[in-house]
A and B are shown apart, each in its own frame.
Chain A
Amino acid sequence: MSNAPVLEVKDIHIEFPTRRGVLKAVDGVSFSIAPGEVLGVVGESGAGKSLTGAAIIGLLEPPGRVASGEILLEGKRIDNLPYEEMRKIRGRQIGAIFQDPLTSLNPLYTVGRQLTETILTHLEMSREQALERAIKLLEEVGIPAARERIEHYPHQFSGGMRQRVVIALALAAEPKVIIADEPTTALDVSIQAQIITLLKRLCRDHGTSVMLVTHDMGVIAETADRVAVMYAGRVAEIGPVSEVIHNPQHPYTMGLMGSIPEFDTHRERLIQIDGAMPRLDSIPQGCAFNPRCTQVFDRCKTERPELLVAGKTRAACWLHAK
């Protein structure tokens, strides 16, 4: 395994021009994903995690736009490619799995047709070979009687089975990276475990890197190698999963971990972070977390912290300034 990252995001800014000025939804996010690595991206709604994922696959909805920064796939810039060229990369080199499996499948086409279409678009093979490959993919994602079920329409599958089909679709052209945006959020907990195990196994077998976007710390804990915690369009903390979970360095990560109810440590009250994430049009000066932070001091209100080395992770917090 070479150490050159498969995917690199460098200081990316995503903006939404509105009548009342430009809203910065993602404000200088950088990270990289190594080959075969699973990078978890967590954060609350509106933190900009899904937008970052959408920008990588080139599916930002207008008027949203990448204002500055670079996205590199194996060292080549992909954020400034023309539409047609991006189309060839999407699916072939970057796969995508979305939250709702019903809306990411076309209800009017059979599962087989959607799979073979994807395969034929990206790989050189005959229709028969593509069909065989589609059946093999469905078997790989654990759909029983794949040969018969390939003729079925999405509505004939259950939620968990549909998400398996979506995973098969994402893997169809053997992409190098998969952007998985909340892949288990719409599923029941028992099905969630099945899907996560499957995704993990397939990515290991195929050597695929994954950017796993979710709000569920539990899913991150058992799937990801590293995790980036996002807050108000910025990365608050990034580091190895076990470090971030057991030894968080950013006050926001600490609060986030404390607010998750757990079985063994029974508390009468959960640790709560007072207030809510700021709206995009009123992100405070300095550190975006400062109005909710329990350890706030003067510098936090004026200067914006960059990611600083903090123990074994990096945290954007002035507490770690040396």
Chain B
Amino acid sequence: MSAFVTLNNVSKTFDVSAPWLNRVIERKPPSYLQAVSDVSFDIRKGETLALVGESGCGKSTVARLIVGLYQPTKGMITVDGKDMRLVDQTGESSQALRRKVQMIFQDPYASLNPRWRVADIVAEPIRTHKLLTDNAAIDKRVAELLGYVKLTAKDGEKFPHQFSGGQRQRISIARALASNPEFLICDEPTSALDVSVQAQVLNLMKDLQREMGLTYLFISHNLQVVHHISDRVGVMYLGRIVEIGDKKQVFGDPQHPYTRMLLDAIPDLKMTGKARTPVAGEVPNPLNPPSGCAFNPRCPKKFGPCDKDRPQLIQFKDRQVACHAAV
């Protein structure tokens, strides 16, 4: 299968300099935050790629870059063969592109307009993209969409505050599906939910994927959730992908010390009383990343070249890994 979404050496730098006057008076240099550096990957049609990593590793920035909420500083993103830079322009092809790519956000309390009825929220993409114009047809479609996410047409008359967190997240999914997208970007869709509700949402997402042939980019910090839902996994650390490959390979036989560390840090339900191997250190400041491999100050396998040369992402044992010690 060919790639549906392609990222080619995508980087994003944010200008986090102090205000101009402070820079002049206090002689502060401008400072830049490299949120995403040289990220490349493909997502095939109908598969789920998950990105995992700790807070601040750039996984949400990647999501926002793909959906077009940020423009990459360097590199190119294509979805279904079309350059995502189109999204900033007007015209038919950019509209079509926007329709194809939809996003589900983390916080179901913040992502729904509290003053709108659920039916209007779900109908908004249909009206914006002029997919249907006749009101009766829109109502029918909204009812159908609410049905997909196990809500009833009557729920459309209510306001978001009348729903629980899990139901709201299902409304977000219905809204995302309203424009008949092919590609959904899910940024921590279940992090704000309780486990039993999380199970409902994950099951629903899997069912919808099978029925509609959707492609997912799934962002999460929860490795068990990622293991459950994804086909392939990319592990990010400080703006870079350190390991990416098939779920079974990456989780079953991790090659990068950081992947191994994340896996070891998961509390194990099976082994009650067993202490986890806590990892020394914390994520370094992204404004001043360590030289060489960004993981070297925390790495148990650190040796000679690690704090001098940055390891490249290379093919190794059925996956790509960026580590001097592994290869």
Residues of A at the B interface (CB closer than 8 Å) are 44-45, 158, 160-161, 188-194, 196-197, 200, 215-219, 221-222, 241-242, 245, 255-264, 266-274, 276
A267 contacts which chain B residues (CB < 8 A)? 228
Q: Which of B243-298 contact A (CB under 8 A)?
A: 251, 261-262, 264-279, 282-283
5 additional A-B pairs beyond A194-B279, A197-B276, beta carbons within 8 Å, are: A216-B267, A218-B266, A259-B195, A262-B269, A268-B206
A219 to B202, CA, bound (A): 22
A270 to B272, CA, bound (A): 22
**Sample (27) of A-B pairs whose CB atoms are under 8 Å apart:** A44-B195, A158-B282, A160-B282, A188-B55, A188-B283, A189-B221, A190-B261, A191-B54, A193-B278, A194-B279, A197-B276, A200-B275, A215-B194, A217-B269, A218-B268, A222-B267, A222-B273, A256-B196, A257-B269, A259-B196, A261-B224, A261-B225, A269-B203, A272-B200, A273-B199, A273-B200, A274-B200
- Whether B199 and A245, one on each chain, are in contact in the complex, defined by CB atoms closer than 8 angstroms, is no
A189 to B225, CA, bound (A): 13
B31 contacts which chain A residues (CB < 8 A)? none
A25 to B265, CA, bound (A): 34
Nearest Cβ on chain A to B30's Cβ, whole angstroms? 23
A90 to B58, CA, bound (A): 41
Closest 9 pairs between A and B when the two form their complex, measured CB to CB: A218-B267, A259-B199, A261-B228, A44-B194, A270-B199, A188-B54, A261-B224, A193-B276, A194-B278
- Whether B196 and A44, one on each chain, are in contact in the complex, defined by CB atoms closer than 8 angstroms, is yes
A160 to B196, CA, bound (A): 28
A219 to B276, CA, bound (A): 10
Residues of B at the A interface (CB closer than 8 Å) are 54-55, 164-167, 194-200, 202-203, 206, 221-225, 227-228, 251, 261-262, 264-279, 282-283
On whether A276 and B269 interact (CB within 8 A), knowing A190-B54, A193-B276, A256-B196, the answer reads no
Nearest Cβ on chain A to B76's Cβ, whole angstroms? 31
B194 contacts which chain A residues (CB < 8 A)? 44-45, 215
- Find the A residue at minimum CB distance from B207: A269
- Find the B residue at minimum CB distance from A161: B282
B272 contacts which chain A residues (CB < 8 A)? 221-222, 241-242, 245
- Find the B residue at minimum CB distance from A195: B278
| A-B residue pair count with CB separations less than 8 angstroms | 125
B223 contacts which chain A residues (CB < 8 A)? 189
Nearest Cβ on chain B to A237's Cβ, whole angstroms? 15
- Whether B262 and A256, one on each chain, are in contact in the complex, defined by CB atoms closer than 8 angstroms, is no
A191 to B203, CA, bound (A): 29
- Whether B278 and A270, one on each chain, are in contact in the complex, defined by CB atoms closer than 8 angstroms, is no
- B224, B227, B276, B282: the one within 8 Å of A222 (CB): B276
A245 contacts which chain B residues (CB < 8 A)? 269, 272
Nearest Cβ on chain B to A165's Cβ, whole angstroms? 14
B225 contacts which chain A residues (CB < 8 A)? 261
- Whether B196 and A255, one on each chain, are in contact in the complex, defined by CB atoms closer than 8 angstroms, is yes
- Whether A222 and B265, one on each chain, are in contact in the complex, defined by CB atoms closer than 8 angstroms, is no
B228 contacts which chain A residues (CB < 8 A)? 261, 266-267, 270
A215 contacts which chain B residues (CB < 8 A)? 194-195
A269 to B261, CA, bound (A): 27
Of A192, A200, A216, chain B has the most CB atoms within 10 Å of the CB of A192
- Find the B residue at minimum CB distance from A225: B273
- Whether B251 and A263, one on each chain, are in contact in the complex, defined by CB atoms closer than 8 angstroms, is yes
On whether A260 and B268 interact (CB within 8 A), knowing A190-B261, A193-B278, the answer reads no
- Whether A189 and B195, one on each chain, are in contact in the complex, defined by CB atoms closer than 8 angstroms, is no
A199 to B250, CA, bound (A): 31
Nearest Cβ on chain A to B70's Cβ, whole angstroms? 23
Nearest Cβ on chain A to B193's Cβ, whole angstroms? 9
B275 contacts which chain A residues (CB < 8 A)? 197, 200, 222
Nearest Cβ on chain A to B141's Cβ, whole angstroms? 26
- Find the B residue at minimum CB distance from A215: B194
B202 contacts which chain A residues (CB < 8 A)? 261, 270
Nearest Cβ on chain A to B66's Cβ, whole angstroms? 23
- Whether B203 and A272, one on each chain, are in contact in the complex, defined by CB atoms closer than 8 angstroms, is yes
A255 to B196, CA, bound (A): 7
- Whether B269 and A218, one on each chain, are in contact in the complex, defined by CB atoms closer than 8 angstroms, is yes
A191 to B267, CA, bound (A): 12
Nearest Cβ on chain B to A222's Cβ, whole angstroms? 5
- A193, A221, A272: the one within 8 Å of B196 (CB): A272
- Find the A residue at minimum CB distance from B225: A261
- A190, A260, A263, A274: the one within 8 Å of B265 (CB): A190
- Find the A residue at minimum CB distance from B273: A222
- Whether B251 and A273, one on each chain, are in contact in the complex, defined by CB atoms closer than 8 angstroms, is no
Nearest Cβ on chain A to B266's Cβ, whole angstroms? 6
Nearest Cβ on chain A to B257's Cβ, whole angstroms? 12
B251 contacts which chain A residues (CB < 8 A)? 263
B54 contacts which chain A residues (CB < 8 A)? 188-191
B198 contacts which chain A residues (CB < 8 A)? 259
- Find the A residue at minimum CB distance from B283: A188
- Whether A189 and B262, one on each chain, are in contact in the complex, defined by CB atoms closer than 8 angstroms, is yes
- Whether B277 and A222, one on each chain, are in contact in the complex, defined by CB atoms closer than 8 angstroms, is no
Nearest Cβ on chain A to B265's Cβ, whole angstroms? 4
A196 to B279, CA, bound (A): 12
- Whether B196 and A263, one on each chain, are in contact in the complex, defined by CB atoms closer than 8 angstroms, is no
A189 contacts which chain B residues (CB < 8 A)? 54, 221-223, 262, 265-266
- Whether A193 and B269, one on each chain, are in contact in the complex, defined by CB atoms closer than 8 angstroms, is no
A269 to B205, CA, bound (A): 10
- Find the A residue at minimum CB distance from B267: A218
A160 contacts which chain B residues (CB < 8 A)? 282
B283 contacts which chain A residues (CB < 8 A)? 188
A241 to B272, CA, bound (A): 7
- Whether A276 and B282, one on each chain, are in contact in the complex, defined by CB atoms closer than 8 angstroms, is no
